[in-house]
Amino acid sequence: MHDWTAHLEAQGGQPRDALHWQFPDDAHRADDAPALVPLTHLAVLECRGADAARFLQGQTSANVEHANGTLAPLTVFCTPKGRVLANAELLKVEPEHYWLVLHASLVAPLKQQLDKYAPFYKMSLAARDDLVLLGVIGDTPVASAWPSSAWHMTHDQDAVVIRHPGPQPRWLVALPADQAGTRWAALTAELAVNGTDRWLRADIAAGLAWLTQAHSDSYLPQMINWEALGGISFRKGCYTGQEVVARAHFRGQVKRRLGVARLAGDTPPVLGSEIRDAQEKRVGEVCQAETDPSGDGCQLLIVINTAVADDEPLQIEGRKLTRAPLPYPLERLDPETLAAASEPAQA
């Protein structure tokens, strides 16, 4: 990926940290303008072989049959105690060939965990470091033939394109690194380049958390609203952690939930920062934080106790925290219904 790093630098980009990039005009661009974003914080783990589907079916919360080449369902990989090791999006790119899109910091740990079971199956796991992920945000002619429904995918020449939810239309584009420069040039003819934080703010607005290595083994899937996003099938067979996840759902034992919030001040809090109520009691923590492009406050994803009222006074280190409504209802979204509404890709 050294060549891709050099490409981003040549476009005026600077690394904000190991996984995020920023560009000179980011502060002057509104979040409602169409944009091209390098998604360097995400990566792909490949599962390929005759037993790939059977292997994944026993490890993950999605019904692998729902990944049909048109629908790319959300999924999670859990510990035996039902805690999320990694959350991902599952793509069937070819017969017996699947990609998992997830946070880049979790590719190696998840592969290490799955490698314990992989030798018993006719399949292989590989980190696809030869792929580049791009984000396209907004109404733009280049996306006119791309999917219009969230979590649907298509092939566009050398790329795989997936629609993601958000306040504006947006798509994740995955393609070989040796083709990325050509595609970048074509896209920048129509789109301004924005930093990675533009995509992350869209995730926040969508109530969508991509867990990092720091979050691994911290939450039940329901604590990041994964069943409300269609990421858990309660009709499939067993997978690691399934019993705990099902029990929490059917007994209503989820005591913390993902939420959207806004924080006063323009410095993002550290991930994991404690949220406290008026009595200084810890009631939650920060899951994701980005500065608003206006410079007036920060946009946050938080995990907070369900007993806390929406209008209860909250703060982080003395800074006022205001909760915002989620863009979806906190009820189970049936992935079987989503799958039935999608048409498998034609061979």
Instruction: Put the strands of the sheet holding 74-78 in their side by side order.
Output: 74-78, 84-94, 97-103, 42-48, 124-127
Q: What percent of the chain has pLDDT over 90?
A: 91
Query: Contact, 86 vs 106, CB < 8 A?
Result: yes
Backbone angles phi, psi at 314, to 5 degrees: -135, 155
Q: What is the CATH number of domain 252-324?
A: 2.40.30.160
Measure the CA–CA gap between 303 and 260, rounded to whole angstroms: 9
Q: Which residue, among 269, 216, 257, 213, has the nearest Cα to 41 in the 3D structure?
A: 213
* More confidently predicted of 53 and 293: 53
Structure tokens at 175: 């393609």
Q: Tell me, what's the pLDDT at 128?
A: 98
Q: Domain ranges in the chain? A: 1-251, 252-324
Report the distance separating Cα 178 and Cα 288, nearest Å. 32
What was the pLDDT predicted at 341?
86
> How far apart (Å, rounded) are the C-alpha atoms in residues 179 and 22?
22
pLDDT over threshold 90, residue 32:
no
pLDDT of residue 343: 62
**Nearest-angstrom CA–CA distance, 101 and 292:** 26
Q: Is 99 helix (H, G, I), strand (E, B) or coil?
A: strand
Answer yes or no: is pLDDT of 81 > 50: yes
Q: Are strands 282-291 and 274-277 parallel, antiparallel or unpaired?
A: antiparallel
Q: What is the mean pLDDT of residues 40-62?
A: 98
Say if residue 49 is exposed, middle or buried (CB neighbours under 10 Å; 0-12, 13-18, 19+): middle
Question: Which tens digits make up the pLDDT trace of 92-121?
Answer: 999 999 999 999 999 999 999 999 999 999
How high is the pLDDT of residue 333?
A: 95
- Residue in the structure block whose two tokens are 């959207």: 260
Which residue do the tokens 């490409």 mark?
Answer: 7
Q: What is the CA radius of gyration of the chain?
A: 20
pLDDT value at residue 9:
96
**Total residues found in the chain within this entry:** 347
Looking at residue 253, its pLDDT comes to 79
Rounded CA separation 14/121 (Å): 42
* Rounded CA separation 114/196 (Å): 29
Instruction: Say if residue 2's pLDDT is above 80.
Output: no
Instruction: Say what the pLDDT of residue 294 is.
Output: 84
- Flag whether pLDDT at 345 surpasses 60: no
168-206 pLDDT, tens digit per residue, is: 999 999 999 999 999 999 999 999 999 999 999 999 999
Work out the pLDDT band at 347, boundaries 50, 70, 90: very low
One-letter identity of residue 287: C
Average pLDDT over residues 240-268: 95
What percent of the chain has pLDDT above 70? 97
Q: In the Cβ-directed half-sphere of 197, how many Cα atoms lie within 13 Å?
A: 23
- Scan for tokens 């996840």, then name that residue: 245
**Rounded Cα–Cα distance for residues 129 and 174 (Å):** 11
pLDDT of residue 292: 92
pLDDT of res. 344: 54
| pLDDT on residue 168 | 96
3-class secondary structure, 340: helix
List the structure tokens of 301. 């994803």
Cβ-contact 74, 233 below 8 angstroms: no
pLDDT per position as a tens digit, 275-299: 999 999 999 999 999 999 888 899 9
Q: Could you tell me the fold of the domain covering 1-251? A: Gyrase A; domain 2 (3.30.1360)
Rounded distance, CA 19 to CA 42, Å? 8
